[in-house]
Structure 1
Amino acid sequence: MPNQPAPQSPTKLTDRKRLAIVEAAISEFRRRGFELTSMDGIAREANVSKRTVYNHFPSKEQLFAEILTQLWQSSAEQVTLAYCPDTPVRAQLEALLWQKMQMLSQQDFIDLARVAIAETIHSPERAQDMVNRLSEREEGITLWLREAAADGKLRIDDPVFAATQLQGMIKTFAFWPQIAMGQPLLIREQQNQVVTSVADMFLRYYA
């Protein structure tokens, strides 16, 4: 898998403080959960004043919403492979699955997702807002499937449904067991087994 370019550090002081607040909030939410996390604790962790935290985020709920937005964006943007008519479909599909697997193999992502899921179950209206935001975006896998189908390489009538199937298969092994049962992240050999078997099953049905 190619390495992702390192994000550039913000240069403005206010941007650096905002980033520090978000990172501190992620750390606090991971350790304490939503209910037990306080803005005071986030300020201490970020090494800024409580007033600074409130200047950027008027409430804990808005700060949490910002983190959830970043979580969704990282999920949607992680898969960025453009469809290539001259490259075998299986090779491209496995590359897409490896990109998804790379994201699901980050402990920070799993920990934060666990907090997010717990809170959205507690607050359904927040979950609905997240679903609405995601529905406004076209994820990389869905776009790739749509283009592969338009090129005649896959028989897919509903790319959104097929993308949900594809991601559901990989998450069965590399997301939900870690979220719901605290199982360890998959090792490389297990990841390879999942990617290969998911590609086999998907292509036998759609290719």
Structure 2
Amino acid sequence: MNRPAPARLTDRKRAAILDAAEAEFRQAGYEATSMDRIAASAGVSKRTVYNHFPSKEVLFAQILQQLFERSRESPELAYRADRPLRQQLLDLVQQKLQLLHDEAFIDLVRVAVAAVIPSPERAQQIFKRVGDKEEGLTVWIRAAAADGRLKTDDPQFASMLLQGMIKGFAFWPQITLGHPILSADERERVAHTATDMFLAHFAAR
């Protein structure tokens, strides 16, 4: 994960721990990764690791949190009445596919699913965060419907349908079956097809 170089020694050590932990979790999985192994990889003492992160679970959660925050750096694409509807929706779908085109994110979510750390409740929290970014699409659909360009009285349901098409190709096969992330051509095919299928049903005539 690319992070700005911290100025203070304490911050540099924390960043080194996060980088080392991310690499270890991605390579070895949650169970096989130990705080000793992370400390050795980061070039710090185990005490230093525990000073920053009281447990392996907290450290792993922090790495996931940073990935989620990085995904939110993409600007929300607001609905515009003066732009063609299809191009706006295509831009939104392509943005979502680009966010899922992150090997570190896919690897670490796969690790989280395999470990279900440390309980089903934690897994539910993880996937809720994955879904948080989807609210922007719901807002866009609601605005387009209010403008009379989409026909739906349930924007969240419509958003979930579109998200299901996207994740059926670009998220769940990678998480559960170990499929590679989509190529640029595959992302384009999914984006255009999902957009057209969605509009074929929801676009106002």
Is the structural similarity TM-score above 0.5? yes
Decide which of 6, 16, 32 is 1:20's aligned counterpart.
16
Q: Mind listing any 5+ residue stretches in structure 1 that lack a counterpart?
A: 1-5
- Hey, what's the Cα distance between the residues in 1 that align with 2:131 and 2:165? 20
- 2:49 equivalent in structure 1: 53
**TM-score, length of structure 1 as denominator length:** 0.84
Distance in 1 between the 2:127 and 2:180 partners? Answer: 27
2:19 maps to amino acid? E
SS in 2 for 1:36: coil
**In the alignment, what sits opposite 2:177?**
181
Q: Which residue of 2 aligns with 1:98?
A: 94
Report if aligned partners of 1:29, 1:112 keep a CA contact under 8 Å in 2.
Answer: yes
Query: Deviation at 1:181?
Result: 2.1
Mapped partners of 1:121, 1:42: distance in 2 = 18
| 2:76 paired with 1:65 | no
* Residues 166 and 202, structure 1, Cα contact 8 Å, conserved in 2: yes
% same residue? 56
- Structure 1 residues 152, 171: closer, same or farther in 2, change over 3 A? same
How well do the aligned residues superpose, as a CA RMSD in angstroms? 2.5
Other-structure match for 1:171: 167
| d(CA) in 2 for partners of 1:198, 1:105 | 17
Q: Deviations over 1:16-38 (max 9, x none)?
A: 32222222111111111111110
One-letter identity of the residue aligned with 1:13: L
Q: 1:133 to 1:178 in 2, by over 3 A?
A: closer
What are the ranges of 5 or more consecutive residues in structure 2 without an aligned counterpart? Answer: none
Alpha-carbon distance between aligned partners in 1 of 2:84 and 2:53, rounded to the nearest angstrom: 47
Considering fraction of residues, name the structure with more helix.
Answer: 1
Shift of 1:93: 0.9
| Contact kept? 2:57, 2:118, Cα under 8 Å | no
- Tell me the equivalent position of 1:43: 39
The answer (yes or no) to whether the contact 2:151–2:202 under 8 Å persists in 1 is: yes
Which deviates more from structure 2 when the two are superposed, residues 14-23 or residues 130-139? 130-139
Q: How many residues align?
A: 202
- Please tell me whether residue 147 in structure 1 is matched to residue 125 in structure 2: no
Cα deviation, residue 8, structure 1: 4.1
TM-score scaled to structure 2, two decimals? 0.85
